[in-house]
Chains A and B, each alone.
Chain A
Amino acid sequence: MTALLPRRGLAQVLALIVILAVDRIVSPQFFDLRLQDGRLFGSLIDVLNRGTPVALLTLGMVLVIATRGIDLSVGAVMAISGAIAAGLADSHGLPIVLAAALGAGLVCGLWNGFLVAVLGMQPIVATLILMVAGRGIAQLITEGRIVTFSSPDLVWLGNGSVLGLPVPVVIALGMLILTAAVVRGSALGLLIEATGGNARASELAGVGTRAMILSVYVWCSVCAALAGVIAAADIMGADANNAGLWLELDAILAVVIGGTSLFGGRFSLVLAVLGALIIQTMNTGILLSGYPPEFNLLVKAVVVLAVLLLQSPKLSGLAGIAMRLRRTKA
């Protein structure tokens, strides 16, 4: 199995490389990078930057999915936290703004976790409730308007740069490292995988499965809240109507492309984030290609299918046989 893991990652890396290559074909300047105002500039940076919200969402989503759950409410949570951040940005300092926005995410996560872990609702409907109501709450905060702000601190969060990299990318990277450190550094990762693999057995082995489930929903919402703040900072305004709309599907897609099963168990944070990058690379490629927008969805469908087929256990089984044949010949 240890030998299998890198091969699993290989499929994602391969997919990314192929899509990058296609992007290079449709847009010759795809790999061009230049420094401007102390900040790197180019399509590759766009991919990273635009991929940030979904990448942040996947960090939480992958844990939720590892416990056999799903969280449809992340888009709505993004809208809520963005609205709160925008509302407070011009009157309060950044720490307070962040605390309020992430705090809202925490509350949302507790609510989802409560419904799933304590009331025992099926995750998809439990989080559907917040998906519907949450956007309403966000619109309630903004009253349906796009609330703009000019607080330079918050704007920096969306548009600033550190060492040439856009701040959102740095934040996402930091969150990835933080999540990985917490999950793999403590016993959390093992206990989450156990819970997702077989909740009954884990419970009997003394794992606090409820606490595990509650905590992943909380983390998922906090990540979503952070993504919401970044999305708002990016456009210097909170668009409660559209922020994070349908992004839950992208996040789930990224997790699955990252090789985590929707039936829970084994998960990989890095591959999930890679999945988010694959999706964004494809999206950016579509924008650069200059095809009429009517084709966007078709292209997306074809690419998604191709990426999935690439990692299909059946196909990798075939690849395995081919490899074995080669080895026996050698």
Chain B
Amino acid sequence: MKGLPPVLITAIVLVAGFALCAMQFPNIASTRVVGNLLTDNAFLGIVATGMTFVIISGGIDLSVGSVIGFTTVFVALAIERWGMPPLVAFVAILVLSAAFGAAMGAVIHVFDLPPFIVTLAGMFLARGASFLLSTESVPITAPVYSTVSDFALRMPGGGRLTAIAIVMLAIVIGGALLLRLTRFGANVYALGGNRTTASLMGVAVGKMTIKIYMLSSLLAGIAGIVFSFYTSAGYSLSAVGVELDTIAAVVIGGTLLTGGQGSVIGTFLGVLIQGLIQTYINFDGTLSSWWTKIATGVLLFAFIALQQGLVALARRPVVKSAGAAS
């Protein structure tokens, strides 16, 4: 008899946290807040899905926040200044970001450099490039934007399931399936287990590395587009520090930073836990800047400690009498 899987534990932690928050602020237990939670964290859910692949494969991608920033600026300029139709702009930026990720993956593999630093350089590069494009924020007025922004499925209780939330859910589900059901997914776990071994077992480690970082950057690009819908603008300073939120979400979701273990659904729960912490603090509304930070830290600790405690409990060997076997 094995204990509870980590994902379930994370889910329990989330539900318990939600219940506690709702006890203090009954308004939280509404579809409206749940809808907001999904919408507000849509871009985070999307990048975190990509980051999950990277981290399970034993790597890390610090460039995602900058890629989001670059994407918003690029999309805004392409649509507003260069007169591209929005769809063309989207395709262009997705190709560009995928190529960027592939390049980082290639550098990591070919020169055998630590992903942390290569993607850190990638982070500088993408942010620097967006400064070059424009240092001011560029509003996007294309009609698609208002159409898509206004679109929402009404949930019972007045909550809105917005288009970007739907995109995020689709990507999370797609990512989960890709990781669980395909050969690519299995290879991702293999790489995280041990690169050398995976290579000896016939996994094309180089190609996989390139594909994984490509996927991460591609999803960061999509997140950037979603972000541009979220704010109807492109701004070179947007999504600063998002890489840390993303990594935190992935890790809270039960993925090991050393690689080899984890799940997209767990990551999604991690994103929601972070969103819940934010919502709680906003509902409280009395916290000064510093207490906000302290409370965020304390809640982060509480969630992780609770989760670790539960995992440890679940792992405890089932005590059975190991006496002389009959």
Contacts and interface: CB of A to CB of B under 8 A. Distances in A.
Interface in B26-40: none
A294 B131 contact: yes
Interface stretch (A48-56, A189-197, A304-312): A304-312
A300 B107 CA distance: 17
A135 interface: yes
A120 B118 CA distance: 28
Which secondary structure dominates where chain B touches chain A?
helix
Given A134-B297, A262-B116, A128 B131 contact: no
A299 B124 CA distance: 9
Given A132-B296, A136-B293, A144-B289, A124 B247 contact: yes
A219 B293 CA distance: 24
Contact of A312 (B113, B256, B304): B113
B111 A125 contact: no
B120 interface: yes
Nearest to A240: B290
A121 B308 contact: yes
A304 B291 contact: no
Contact of A133 (B116, B117, B131, B296): B296
B121 A140 contact: no
A136 B128 contact: no
B117 A129 contact: no
B251 interface: yes
B291 A140 contact: yes
A262 B62 CA distance: 14
Interface in A298-322: 298-302, 304-305, 308-309, 312-315
A274 to B, nearest CB: 16
A296 interface: yes
Interface residues of B, number: 43
Contacts of A261: 114
Contact of A122 (B131, B256, B297): B256
Interface string A279-301: 00000000000000011111111
A247 to B, nearest CB: 13
B297 A298 contact: no
Contact of A297 (B113, B131, B301, B304): B131
B113 A308 contact: yes
A26 B9 CA distance: 57
Interface of A: 72, 115, 119-125, 128-140, 143-144, 249, 252-253, 256-257, 261-262, 294-302, 304-305, 308-309, 312-315
Ranked nearest first, the 6 interchain pairs of A and B with the lowest CB-CB distance are A133-B297, A136-B293, A297-B128, A298-B128, A139-B290, A301-B124
Interface of B: 107, 110-114, 116-118, 120-122, 124-125, 127-129, 131-132, 135, 244, 247-248, 251-252, 256-257, 288-298, 300-301, 304-305, 308
Given A119-B305, A313-B111, 12 more contacts: A128-B244, A128-B247, A132-B300, A133-B298, A135-B293, A136-B295, A298-B128, A300-B124, A301-B128, A304-B117, A305-B118, A314-B110
11 contacts: A122-B256, A124-B247, A125-B251, A125-B252, A133-B301, A256-B116, A256-B117, A298-B131, A304-B121, A309-B111, A312-B111
